[in-house]
A and B are shown apart, each in its own frame.
Chain A
Amino acid sequence: MKTKYDAIVIGAGPAGLACSAELANRGLDVAVLDEQASPGGQIYRNITQATPRQHAILGSDYTDGLEVIKAFKEADVDYLPLSRVWQAEETGDVYFSREGASHQLKADYLVLCTGAMERPVPFPGWTLPGVMTCGGMSNLYKDSSLVPTEPVVLAGSGPLLWVVAEHLFALNAPIVAILDTTPLMQVLPAMKHMPRALKRIGFMLKGVKLIADVHLTALKRKVPIRRNVKNLRAEGNDQVEWVKATCGKKEIAYAATTLLVNEGIVPNTSLLRQVGCEHTWDPIQRFWFPKVGLDGRTNLPSVFVAGDGNFVHGAKSAEYKGKLTALTIANEMRRISDAEFEEQAQPVRDMLELDISPRPFIDKMYAPRPDLFGIPDNTTVCRCEGITAGQIRDMIEAGYTDHNEIKAIIRCGMGPCQGRMCGPAVFELIAEGSNLEPQKIRQHRLRPPIKPVSLQELANAKVGETDES
Chain B
Amino acid sequence: MKADVLIVGGGIMGCATALELARKGKSVIIFEKDTPGRHASGNNSGGVRCQGRDIREIAIAVEARKMWGLHEKTILSDCGFFVSPRLRLAENDKELQVLVKRQEKLNAMGYDHEVVVDLAEVRRLSPHVADHVVGGLVCYSDGLANPMLTSKAYAAAAEREGVTILKGTRVIEASTTSSGFKVRTSRDKFYEGEMLVNCTGAWAGRFSAMLGDPLPVFSAAPTMMVTGRMPGMMNGTSLGLTGRLLGLMAAQNGTIVVGGGYRSPHDLEKEKIWVDPMQMAKAAKIMVEIMPGLKKAQMMRCWTAFEGCIKDKVPIVGQSIKVPGLFHVCGFSAHGFQLAPMMGRVMSQIMLGQKPELPLDDFRVDRFEDQKTAK
Q: A residues bordering B, Cβ < 8 Å?
A: 87, 89-91, 95, 102, 104, 276, 402, 405, 408-409, 411, 414-416, 418, 447-449, 452-456, 458-459, 461, 463-464, 466-469
Do A459 and B274 form a contact, CB below 8 Å, given A408-B147, A452-B228? no
Q: Among B253, B265, B274, B303, find the residue whose CB has the most chain A CB atoms closer than 10 A.
A: B274
For the A-B complex with A89-B274, A447-B275 known, give 4 more contacts whose Cβ atoms are closer than 8 Å: A405-B152, A418-B300, A449-B302, A455-B299
**B residues less than 8 Å from A469 (CB atoms):** 218, 220, 263, 309
- 8 Å CB contact of A416 from B146, B149, B280, B298: B298
Contact bitstring B23-56, A, C-beta under 8 A = 1, else 0: 0000000000001010000110000000000000
* Segment touching A, from B104-112, B136-144, B204-212, B284-292: B284-292
Judging by beta carbons under 8 Å apart, are B263 and A452 in contact? no
- 8 Å CB contact of A459 from B253, B262, B285: B285
Do A449 and B301 form a contact, CB below 8 Å, given A87-B275, A405-B37? yes
Judging by beta carbons under 8 Å apart, are A455 and B295 in contact? yes
Residue of A nearest to B46 (CB): A408
**B residues less than 8 Å from A409 (CB atoms):** 146, 148-149, 152
Judging by beta carbons under 8 Å apart, are A458 and B284 in contact? yes
Judging by beta carbons under 8 Å apart, are B152 and A95 in contact? no
Q: In this assembly, does B282 line the interface, its C-beta being within 8 Å of a C-beta of chain A? A: yes
Do A463 and B298 form a contact, CB below 8 Å, given A409-B148, A409-B149, A455-B288? no
Report B296 CB to chain A, min CB distance, Å: 7
Judging by beta carbons under 8 Å apart, are A466 and B278 in contact? yes
The distance in angstroms between the C-alpha atoms of A95 and B299, with both chains bound, is 14
**A residues less than 8 Å from B275 (CB atoms):** 87, 447-448
- 8 Å CB contact of B43 from A102, A104, A408, A415: A408
Q: In this assembly, does B232 line the interface, its C-beta being within 8 Å of a C-beta of chain A? A: no
Do A456 and B149 form a contact, CB below 8 Å, given A89-B274, A463-B281, A466-B279? no
Contact bitstring B218-236, A, C-beta under 8 A = 1, else 0: 1010000011100000000
Judging by beta carbons under 8 Å apart, are A455 and B298 in contact? yes
Judging by beta carbons under 8 Å apart, are B35 and A405 in contact? yes
The distance in angstroms between the C-alpha atoms of A469 and B253, with both chains bound, is 32
Residues in B256-314 with C-beta less than 8 Å from chain A: 261-265, 272, 274-282, 284-285, 287-288, 294-303, 309
Judging by beta carbons under 8 Å apart, are B35 and A447 in contact? no
Q: Among A95, A414, A415, A455, find the residue whose CB has the most chain B CB atoms closer than 10 A.
A: A455
Judging by beta carbons under 8 Å apart, are B227 and A455 in contact? yes
- Chain B interface bracket (under 10, 10 to 19, 20 to 34, 35 or more): 35 or more
**A residues less than 8 Å from B272 (CB atoms):** 276
- 8 Å CB contact of A453 from B149, B264, B299: B299
Residue of B nearest to A456 (CB): B295
Do A416 and B282 form a contact, CB below 8 Å, given A276-B272, A408-B146, A466-B276? no
Report B340 CB to chain A, min CB distance, Å: 17
**B residues less than 8 Å from A414 (CB atoms):** 226, 301
The distance in angstroms between the C-alpha atoms of A90 and B279, with both chains bound, is 18
Report B133 CB to chain A, min CB distance, Å: 18
Judging by beta carbons under 8 Å apart, are A452 and B281 in contact? no
**A residues less than 8 Å from B284 (CB atoms):** 455-456, 458-459, 461
The distance in angstroms between the C-alpha atoms of A228 and B288, with both chains bound, is 55
Judging by beta carbons under 8 Å apart, are B288 and A447 in contact? no
**A residues less than 8 Å from B279 (CB atoms):** 466
Judging by beta carbons under 8 Å apart, are A447 and B303 in contact? yes
The distance in angstroms between the C-alpha atoms of A411 and B298, with both chains bound, is 17
Q: Among B226, B275, B276, B278, find the residue whose CB has the most chain A CB atoms closer than 10 A.
A: B278
Report A114 CB to chain B, min CB distance, Å: 18
Judging by beta carbons under 8 Å apart, are A458 and B263 in contact? no
Judging by beta carbons under 8 Å apart, are A463 and B302 in contact? no
Do A459 and B287 form a contact, CB below 8 Å, given A405-B148, A408-B147? yes
Residue of B nearest to A95 (CB): B277
What are 28 A-B contacts defined by CB distance under 8 Å? A89-B274, A95-B277, A408-B42, A408-B148, A408-B149, A409-B146, A409-B149, A416-B300, A447-B275, A448-B301, A449-B277, A449-B299, A452-B298, A454-B296, A454-B298, A455-B227, A455-B297, A456-B288, A456-B295, A458-B299, A459-B295, A461-B277, A463-B281, A463-B285, A466-B276, A466-B278, A467-B263, A468-B263
Report B209 CB to chain A, min CB distance, Å: 19
**A residues less than 8 Å from B276 (CB atoms):** 466
Judging by beta carbons under 8 Å apart, are B302 and A448 in contact? yes
Residue of B nearest to A385 (CB): B253
- 8 Å CB contact of B281 from A102, A276, A408: A102
The distance in angstroms between the C-alpha atoms of A371 and B277, with both chains bound, is 41
Q: Among A402, A453, A464, find the residue whose CB has the most chain B CB atoms closer than 10 A.
A: A453
Report B273 CB to chain A, min CB distance, Å: 10
**B residues less than 8 Å from A461 (CB atoms):** 277-278, 281, 284
Judging by beta carbons under 8 Å apart, are B228 and A447 in contact? no
The distance in angstroms between the C-alpha atoms of A248 and B342, with both chains bound, is 61
The distance in angstroms between the C-alpha atoms of A447 and B274, with both chains bound, is 10
Report A146 CB to chain B, min CB distance, Å: 28
The distance in angstroms between the C-alpha atoms of A68 and B69, with both chains bound, is 64
**B residues less than 8 Å from A95 (CB atoms):** 277
- 8 Å CB contact of B277 from A87, A411, A467, A468: A87
